[in-house]
Amino acid sequence: MKKRILVIDDEESVRKSYALALEDCGYNLDASASGEEGLKNVKSINYDLIFLDLKMPGLNGIDTLYEIRKKDKKVPVFIVTAFHREFAGGLKSLQDDGIDFQLLAKPIGRAQIIAVTRSALEGLASY
């Protein structure tokens, strides 16, 4: 059975970059343009990996992750952002609340997307 990946990012070009990077890797990829849309997907589908943007209109990545963890405490979540300093307090709150996530800096290229995905899902590479 193919592993399922969800990308939650408000930028269409970013969502497309994940699709292009992973199109030949044999995973099922869903993409959501907002935290709210991503949560709808998480409530109806069990994902094996989630890539999550931090700075989005509406529900930001921190609030989205809190909601994701209410449904699934174990799915690997990678917060991919260029705004980690701006959200340092919220990220610290996630850690203080015992909410598990990994942080990756944007921009993230094709090779890194593939390496992180394989590492998280198959243990084949390091990120």
**DSSP per-residue letters across 3-66:** -EEEEE-S-HHHHHHHHHHHTTTT-EEEEESSHHHHHHHHHHS--SEEEEESS-SSS-HHHHHH
Fold of 4-122: Rossmann fold (3.40.50)
> Domain limits of the chain?
4-122
The answer to whether 74 and 30 are in contact (CB under 8 A) is no
pLDDT, one tens digit per residue, over 111-126 is: 999 999 999 998 754 4
Q: Global pTM?
A: 0.91
pLDDT, one tens digit per residue, over 51-108 is: 999 999 999 999 999 999 999 999 999 999 887 777 788 888 888 899 999 999 888 9
